[in-house]
Amino acid sequence: MGRPPNDLDDYLDWQSRLDSFKASGLSIDEFCLQEGVSRSTYYRWVDQLKDGVPESMVAEKAAWEKAESGEAAFVPITLKASPVEIELPNGGVVRLPLGVGQVVLVEVIRAVGALRPWKAPKS
């Protein structure tokens, strides 16, 4: 199947390299020469690892390995909440804000369900 995108092994390898560099006393140029990498590659990895290895990458790697082994896997996702809209038979719309509680939502649904069809007054 190949490697997953943004391979975690690369991140872990570079995290280890940068930890060794910090303890080595080498200059950046000496480190890059020793590792056989350019300064731009060094700075790119310093920037990518400034907050550590992303947790999402660890989860993605675990899911990838399970998929390759044939095991079922779930990849965690985050869904963005959106307002609730209830379209009424007469064309009206009830809009509820983000984060409306379950109790309020149930009461609104009951109230809407109890409405009798009505027609808008003629102009």
What does the pLDDT look like over 34-63, one tens digit per residue?
Answer: 999 999 999 999 888 887 777 777 777 777
Residue closest to 54 by CA, chosen among 23, 10, 1: 10
**For 58-110, how does the pLDDT look when each residue is reduced to its tens digit (9 = 90+)?**
777 777 777 777 666 566 777 677 777 888 777 778 888 877 788 888 888 78
CB 108 within 8 A of CB 102: no
- Enter the pTM of the model: 0.45
Residues contacting residue 58 through CB under 8 Å, at least 6 positions apart? 8
d(CA 78, CA 51): 20
Q: Rounded to an integer, what is the distance from CA 123 to the centroid of its chain?
A: 51
Residue closest to 118 by CA, chosen among 88, 85, 86: 88
